[in-house]
Structure 1
C-alpha cells in the first residue's frame, strides 16, 4: 500500500474549501431542494439490504471530492493488495486474508502456496464434529450426549462468536451456548452453576494459546471438570482448542484430534470466519454457517468489483471521514433495532477502535489528523429512552447508523410495526428536527417553546434488510469490515495490528508479582504503589 499523507492530497485541500462553504447547510433545505435526493443517495444490495445515506450532510460535490480522495489515496489498489494476500500488516509482517475463509468456490494462493485445501479441510473437520455434537452422538465421559457449549476466549475470540450466536438465535438448535471472556471469576462461576461436567464441552479459543485471561479461565475450567471426572483421560471428551499454536494445547492436555487450527494471516477481530466460529457452527449448524460465509463473500465481491460511486463500504467510510476529519465529530453510534443484534455495536466497537485507534502513520510518524472514531451503541427503543436526548438536543453531534429488518422472526400483535415506526421516526426527527410543518405549532405556541426546539441536522445512515438471516448478517459484518479497512487506508495507518494493548499486559505481569508477594521490593509510581499497599493492608486485616 502507498504511504501518503492524506491532508497533503489535492482532494483533501478541496474538501477543506468545500467544507467552509457547506458547513452551514441543513438537511431540511437539502431535501427541499432535491426531490430525488433519496433515490440518488441510497443503494439497494441484491434486493436484500437497502443503505440510505441521503440523511447525511453531503451533496454531489461532497461525494465527488470524497471519491477523488479515495482514488488519490489508492484505495482500489489497496483493496487488491488485501485480497491478493500482500503483507499489508507490515508491523507483524503478515497478510490479512480472512476474506479467503468465506471464498468457498475458488482457489486461493498465499506465498505461491494453495491454501484453499487447508481452509476446506478445517471447515470439514468443524462440520464433522458439530454434526456429531448436534446429533447427540458425541458423548461425554459418562456416556451422555452434550447439552452445553462453553466458549472460552477474549477479544475477537469471544466478541465475534458471542455476537453472531445471539444475532442468529432464531436459527439455534437445542445446545445451550455460554461465553466466558472476563478473568473476573464471577463470569466463570456463574456458568458453572448452569452446566454439568458430564454434558458440557469447553472450547478454548486463543491464537497463541498464551493469552493470560483465556488460559486462566481454561485452567480453572479444567480444574472444575477434573474435580468431578477425576481422570485426565476424560479431557478428550470435553476439551477442545482453537489455536495457531499446536504445542501449547497439547501441553494443556488437549488431544491432538481436538485441536482446530487457523493461520497467522487471520487477525483476532476478523477470526469468526475461521475455526474460532466453531461455537457458531455448533449453535446454528453447518448449513447455516456456510450461508453466513456466503453472505460475507457476496459483500466481498461487491467491495472488489463495484465502482467507488456505488460501493457501499467505501461510501460509508468516506462519509465517516467527512464527519471525523472535517466536522470534527469524534464518535459514531450503531443502533440495531433488533434485539437479537444487541451485541453488534460492541463487536464493531472492537473492530473499529482496535483497528483504527492509531496515532502513528505508515511512515512511522505521528499523525497530524484524526484517525479512528469512538464507536458505541445499543439496541432498539431501549436506546431512545437512554441517550437519545443527547443525540437530538445535545451539544455534540453524533452520526448514527440505524439498522433494522423489515420482517421480524417473532410476530406478536403490533410489536414490530411499532418498533419500525420508532425506527423511521428517529432518523426523520434527527434530520429535520421541529422544522416539520405538521409539528411547528406544537413548539411555537408554548411558554417553554425554546426547550422544545429541535434543530435537527443530525446525520444518519439507515440500513434496512428484509430479515436477519445468516446470509444477511454475513453481508452486514463484511460491510463494516471493509468500511474500517477503507478508512485505515485513507488515514495512512496500519489497521491490522494492536500494539496498544501490549503495554498494559506487560505491566500486569510485573504487578502480579507485587500483589502476590507483599515483600516484593519493586517500586512503582506513588499512585500505583499506594494502591498496592492498600491492597496488602486490607488483605492483612481481612
Structure 2
C-alpha cells in the first residue's frame, strides 16, 4: 500500500443493487487484481457459481445442494433439486406467511425460540428494521429466546402477556437441546398462567424440516411452516425462519427483504468477475491473507441499527469456512479469519487502538448509510459527524502518520473496504446479507472448502450428554472413556 493507495487502482468503485463498494484502500494495484482474477478463474469460480444456483450437490459431505437462493427467487423460475422443481413448495410457504399476516390479530408478544441460524438472522432483521424512520409495524414485542441460560427466559416471561402471546419454535431437526428445552419451559409457563390445552395449541407455531417431530411436540399441522434440508441454518432467514419479519413489518416488507437478496444473487450470477461485488470482496480478503497472513477481520457498520450485523456475520463466516481441511480432506493453507466488530463510532472508543497501532494487520469493512436513521432535528448534523468519522478512520488506517515519537506514529497500510447503502430498509438489508452470504461461499470456493456443513460443532454436543448426566446425579465421578480427568475434576467442583 503506497502513500496514496487510491492511485494504485482508480477503477476501485463498483455497484450492485445500488450498493456501492469502494476497494481503493485495499492497496492492490492493477497487476495484483489481474493475478487475483486469474486465480479465481483457475479455481473455476464461475462454474462454481453456476453450479450453486443450479442445485448441484455442492454440500458434498452431506450430499445436498445449498439452495438458499431459491428462497428469495421471487420470479419463481424453476429450480431443480434432483430433477424436481422446488419453487411450488417455496411459493406455498410465501402464501401461508401472507395469510397468517392477514389474520394475526390481538397479539401483544411473540416469543421466537431458536438458536444459531434460527436466531441470528431474524433477530438482526427485527432490530435493524425497527430503526427505519416511518416503517409500518404492528408494535408487538418480539422476544428472541436462544440461550439455555434461564436468565434470558426469565426476562422474557416477566414481560410477555400469556393470553396474547404466540410462540414460534424454530429448529431444522426439532431436536436442538436449547430450543426444545426452552420451548417446553414456555409451554409450562402458559399452563401455569391458566391457558387451556386448546389455547396452548393455538398459540404454538413451528418452523422446521422435521414436521412429524413438531406435530409430536404438540404443534398443529396448520401451524407448521416447513423448510428443507438443502437450506443451511445460517442461510435460512429467507425461509419461514424469517416469519417474525413479515408478522411485525408486514408481508410486503418481507418480500422487499427477499427482493434485495435476489437482486444481489442476480448480480452475482451475471456480473463479470472484475465487476462482481461478492467476488471482489472475497479476493481482497484472500489477497490480504496471502500478503500479510492475516488472522482476523473486522466489520464496522456506521449505523446503530446494524449493531447486530457482526454477530450474524460471525456465524456465517466462521461456521461456514472455519475448516482445517479442504473438500478432499487435505490440510488448507488458509480458511476463515476470526470475525469481530461492532457499530461505529462506538468501536472507535473500544478496539480501534489495536487496528491502528497493533502488531497485526486486520482488514476492515466499513459500512455506511447515506441517509440519517431518524427524523430528529439533529439527525443531519449527527449523521454528518458519523460519516466523517467513518471516512476519517479509513483514511488514517490506510495512510498512517510518521512522527519522531514512536508512540504517536501510525504505520498505516491497513486495508479496508467501504460499502455504502443508499438507505436502510428491508430491501437494502436483504441485499447486504446476501452480499456477505455470496462472499462467504466465494471464499469457500477459492479455499476449496465446503461452506455448507459444520461438523466441528458436533463433538461438544456429544460430550455434553454424559457430563450433564453426571451433574444431574450430583455424585463424585472419575475419568472414563467419555470424561477426561480434568473435566471429571471440574464436575466434582460443581457437585461438591
Please, what TM-score do these two structures have when normalized by structure 2? 0.95
Q: Which runs of 5+ in 1 are unaligned?
A: 1-25, 137-144, 436-442, 538-542
* Deviation of 1:29 (Å): 4.0
Task: Go from structure 1 to structure 2 and tell me whether the alpha carbon gap of 1:30 and 1:366 turns closer, same or farther (over 3 Å shift).
Answer: closer
- Give 3-state SS (helix, strand or coil) of 2:319's partner: helix
Q: Check if 1:478 corresponds to 2:434.
A: yes
* Deviation of 1:282 (Å): 1.2
Partner of 1:162: 123
* Deviation of 1:521 (Å): 5.5
* Deviation of 1:326 (Å): 3.1
Q: Check if 1:283 corresponds to 2:258.
A: no
Query: C-alpha offsets along residues 84-127 of structure 1, whole Å, 9 cap, x if unaligned?
Result: 00111011111110001111112222211121111010111011
Partner of 1:84: 54
Distance in 2 (alpha carbons) for counterparts of 1:168 and 1:228:
32
* Deviation of 1:283 (Å): 1.8
Residues 187-202 of structure 1 correspond to what in structure 2 (within 5 A)?
Answer: 187-202=152-167
Q: Check if 1:108 corresponds to 2:72.
A: no
Task: Go from structure 1 to structure 2 and tell me whether the alpha carbon gap of 1:473 and 1:230 turns closer, same or farther (over 3 Å shift).
Answer: closer
List 4+ stretches of structure 1 deviating above 6 A.
none
2:16 alignment partner, one of 28, 45, 62: 45
Partner of 2:494: 535
Partner of 1:75: 45
Distance in 1 (alpha carbons) for counterparts of 2:241 and 2:160:
22
* Deviation of 1:493 (Å): 1.3
- Give 3-state SS (helix, strand or coil) of 2:292's partner: coil
Distance in 2 (alpha carbons) for counterparts of 1:127 and 1:324:
45
Checking the alignment, whether the CA contact within 8 Å between 1:183 and 1:216 is kept in structure 2 is yes
Distance in 1 (alpha carbons) for counterparts of 2:423 and 2:222:
38
Q: Check if 1:126 corresponds to 2:101.
A: no
Checking the alignment, whether the CA contact within 8 Å between 2:476 and 2:495 is kept in structure 1 is no
2:382 alignment partner, one of 400, 415, 423: 415
Checking the alignment, whether the CA contact within 8 Å between 1:235 and 1:254 is kept in structure 2 is no
Partner of 1:27: 2
* Deviation of 1:42 (Å): 1.1
Partner of 2:453: 497
- Give 3-state SS (helix, strand or coil) of 1:506's partner: helix
Distance in 2 (alpha carbons) for counterparts of 1:230 and 1:69:
62
Distance in 2 (alpha carbons) for counterparts of 1:535 and 1:434:
53
Q: Which structure has the greater CA radius of gyration?
A: 1
Distance in 2 (alpha carbons) for counterparts of 1:385 and 1:214:
36
Query: C-alpha offsets along residues 470-500 of structure 1, whole Å, 9 cap, x if unaligned?
Result: 1111111111111110110111111100000
Checking the alignment, whether the CA contact within 8 Å between 2:58 and 2:64 is kept in structure 1 is yes
- Give 3-state SS (helix, strand or coil) of 2:90's partner: helix
Partner of 2:304: 339
Please, what TM-score do these two structures have when normalized by structure 1? 0.87
Checking the alignment, whether the CA contact within 8 Å between 1:27 and 1:55 is kept in structure 2 is no
* Deviation of 1:131 (Å): 2.3
Distance in 2 (alpha carbons) for counterparts of 1:27 and 1:201:
57
Residues 173-188 of structure 1 correspond to what in structure 2 (within 5 A)?
Answer: 173-188=138-153
- Give 3-state SS (helix, strand or coil) of 2:206's partner: strand
Distance in 1 (alpha carbons) for counterparts of 2:476 and 2:86:
50
Residues 429-440 of structure 1 correspond to what in structure 2 (within 5 A)?
Answer: 429-434=396-401
Q: Check if 1:298 corresponds to 2:263.
A: yes
- Give 3-state SS (helix, strand or coil) of 1:151's partner: strand
Partner of 1:13: none
- Give 3-state SS (helix, strand or coil) of 2:401's partner: helix
Partner of 2:292: 327
Partner of 2:230: 265
Checking the alignment, whether the CA contact within 8 Å between 2:478 and 2:485 is kept in structure 1 is no
The total of aligned residue pairs comes to: 485
- Give 3-state SS (helix, strand or coil) of 2:115's partner: coil
* Deviation of 1:520 (Å): 7.6
Q: Check if 1:153 corresponds to 2:153.
A: no
Checking the alignment, whether the CA contact within 8 Å between 1:236 and 1:258 is kept in structure 2 is no
Checking the alignment, whether the CA contact within 8 Å between 1:514 and 1:522 is kept in structure 2 is no
1:354 alignment partner, one of 293, 308, 319: 319
Residues 353-432 of structure 1 correspond to what in structure 2 (within 5 A)?
Answer: 353-367=318-332, 369-412=333-376, 413=378, 414-432=381-399
Query: C-alpha offsets along residues 397-418 of structure 1, whole Å, 9 cap, x if unaligned?
Result: 1100000101022033111111
Partner of 1:16: none
Partner of 2:175: 210
Q: Which runs of 5+ in 2 are unaligned?
A: none
Distance in 2 (alpha carbons) for counterparts of 1:464 and 1:256:
43
- Give 3-state SS (helix, strand or coil) of 2:119's partner: helix
- Give 3-state SS (helix, strand or coil) of 2:111's partner: strand
Distance in 2 (alpha carbons) for counterparts of 1:63 and 1:229:
65
The RMSD of aligned alpha carbons is 1.4
Checking the alignment, whether the CA contact within 8 Å between 1:53 and 1:462 is kept in structure 2 is yes
